[in-house]
Amino acid sequence: MMNVKRVISAIERDYILNNLKKDKRIDGRDLWEYRDFHINVDVVKSAEGSADVTLGDTRIISGLKYEVGEPFPDTPDEGVCTMMAELLPLASPLFEGGPPNEQSIELARVIDRGIRHADCIQTKKLCIRENKAVYILFLDMFVMNYGGNMIDCGGVSCLATLISAHVPEGVFNDENELIWTGKYLNGKHIVNELPFVITFGKIDDIIFMDPNLTEELLSDGSISISVTENKITSIQKSGSATFSIDEIKMLCEKSIEIGKKLRKELDLWQYLIQKA
């Protein structure tokens, strides 16, 4: 990958930094304002749930597939959800094809950690028969365009995908054979909590929310905080920037506040799909 710090000129960096010091952004936002989210669900007909989400110029399509397999020995009555992210070369000249790199692994893990620690997925309802068969869900993200802050965009895309899910219902009959009932598990069966991940960038001593591409390339680092209605579920720092204890406390409080606002504005449960 090219040295992204060389992509932005010193003049542009100074211009952006001077505006940030005045609580202004080059795209007209204030320091604590998101770009616009746009959400479409059920866009991949071959998947058991999907969402196409844009945040500003960042666009991520997520899809859900499933298999039936054996549960882990230590969780015999719980299903499993695994997450993957792929940075497609068409999304940015900064991305290259090949095996998952550090950036794609971080994207998947940060979102997965927030979801997992929030008990977002009702894993017990993904059990078909204890010790014998459970659903294994595969939640895959594909970055279609990179305009900064993939983590927050991917987090909303994953939640919308899970809520819009329609996974065929399987049961065991009297002959101990797995059969399909013709019914479906939907988002109400699968999703328990809605953890939003909120990312803040830092340039010098200035902190701001939802960095766009230029701001992200210039940032010394970032911190992503996943929140439910009233609880922090995970925190991940990236880059060389340091955050004081007071700054982290402030950002945790602000994340709870912003998460409540985002939960209301996006109203993700409207994307619930109920199939007969």
Question: For the chain, what is the domain count?
Answer: 1
Question: Domain for residue 187, yes or no?
Answer: yes
| Distance (Å, whole) CA 176 – CA 202 | 57
CA distances (Å), 229 to each of 35, 37, 92, 120, 218, in order?
21, 19, 34, 12, 31
pLDDT for the residue 1: 42
Q: Is residue 276 part of a domain?
A: no
Q: What is the pLDDT of residues 8-23, one digit of tens each?
A: 677 778 888 888 888 8
Say if 196 falls within a structural domain. yes
Q: How are the residues of the chain apportioned to helix, strand and coil, as percentages rounded to the nearest 5?
A: 30, 35, 35
What count of other Cβ atoms lies within 10 Å of the Cβ of residue 108? 21
Q: Quote the tokens at residue 262.
A: 């985002």
Domain ranges, residue 212: 4-271
3-state secondary structure of 97: coil
Q: How far is CA 238 from CA 211, 220, 241, in A?
A: 13, 9, 8
pLDDT mean across residues, the chain: 93
The answer to whether residue 200 is domain-embedded is yes
Residue 263 lies in a domain: yes
pLDDT, tens digit (0-9, with 9 covering 90-100), for 179-205: 999 999 999 999 999 999 999 999 989
Whether pLDDT at 93 is above 70: yes
Tens digits of residue pLDDT in 97-145: 888 889 999 999 999 999 999 999 999 999 999 999 999 999 999 999 9
Give me the CATH number covering residue 248.
3.30.230.70
Q: Which residue has the tokens 């070369």?
A: 89
Residue 2: partners with Cβ closer than 8 Å, 6 or more residues away:
93, 94
User: What single DSSP character describes residue 195?
Assistant: P
- Whole-number pLDDT of residue 276: 59
Beta strands in 48-126 (DSSP E): 50-55, 58-69, 80-87
Average pLDDT of 145-161? 97
- Report DSSP state, residue 191: B
